[in-house]
Chains A and B, each alone.
Chain A
């Protein structure tokens, strides 16, 4: 079960739009951290994902375990939020 979802995005990232759109169609709410507005938080996204890329989606489960998905990757995103 999902406790919360955070997505790191930028203004020009089309795949960020896709992740948000997909989560929306599945009825999930999420917090968004826009790295163009908050460049000081880039380090968080990098430390979570190990990648210098967006979107980074962090799914926190009820037991506080986390899954990190980089990019618009439905094969990973779908089971993570199931």
Chain B
């Protein structure tokens, strides 16, 4: 086994070989590869190390874990493996970046940093549904993280909004707390995998499925979430779902706002465009994982892309050295 490297901190290099924005599965995998090859590697993380993998209750589709693995455990193992070879994780936010004099300059909450190459692996954040009541009752009746906030709903009624993998997975997770869950799905079928749909059927005593149902408003009474107002699309009928809380899982939007003015090209839904080498429109800036245009939004893909990005970055750095 290779010996662990001596710990340094974010300010130990004047210029880093590579700075990674984000510390989710893509960046942690890339960092494992780069740091193992003595490429000095610094990661910035403003949220949870491990990204959304870390806040996912249970992951059944990541290879190498025949019985599945807790998201928090997978995230921690990815972190430990990257740190073992010398990658440094700085808990802070990258505010902006630009290419200047052959390097990339990053303005961060920890100060100004310079790198020869940058990997953008910022992942995504939960989309909002944009209905009345959602913003007003965020954190006190409206939530986007079941593993964080589910414990407040012991023996309470919940609505879960969404029909994809996350919505189904988190609805199943919430059955450990809630007395009943109304699962409101806008489409006429689930987008979730067959495996998850099969699992969902085992929880029919607690979860009631409402297909073809829009969520129109989250209504509070006496400043507490009281019911969700929805519409059955097939009949136009308005329906009230009495609930104590609402968990929203209707897809993801990329964390790319900070790239405004950087020259990094985004697609029409603000995902980062890359070429076959995972390089963006700005020389020396690469991207991998859920924030990249064409990403499959799977942890296994993110780690694979992270490894590819690391090899491309190594190639780029070698060319820089001439």
Contacts and interface: CB of A to CB of B under 8 A. Distances in A.
B92 interface: yes
Interface string A1-21: 000000000101111111001
Contact of B48 (A10, A18, A25, A35): A18
A72 B91 CA distance: 11
A39 interface: yes
B279 interface: no
Interface stretch (B49-57, B98-106, B182-190): B49-57
A53 interface: yes
A53 B92 CA distance: 22
A52 B47 contact: no
A53 B148 contact: yes
Interface size class of A (residues with CB under 8 A): 20 to 34
A52 B141 contact: yes
A59 interface: no
B176 to A, nearest CB: 10
Interface stretch (B111-119, B149-157, B192-200, B282-290): B149-157
Contact of B151 (A21, A25, A39, A50): A39
B71 interface: yes
Interface in A30-78: 35-36, 39, 42, 46, 50-55, 70, 72, 74-75
Contacts of A21: 49, 91
Contacts, number: 79
Contacts of B93: 74
Interface residues of B, number: 30
A52 B143 contact: yes
B147 A14 contact: yes
B109 interface: yes
13 contacts: A10-B148, A10-B150, A12-B148, A14-B75, A15-B48, A25-B91, A36-B151, A52-B141, A52-B152, A52-B153, A53-B139, A54-B148, A54-B151
Interface of B: 46-50, 54-55, 57, 70-72, 75, 91-93, 109, 139-141, 143, 145, 147-154, 245
Interface of A: 10, 12-18, 21-22, 25, 35-36, 39, 42, 46, 50-55, 70, 72, 74-75
Given A14-B54, A39-B154, 10 more contacts: A10-B147, A12-B148, A15-B145, A21-B91, A51-B140, A52-B139, A53-B145, A53-B149, A74-B109, A75-B109
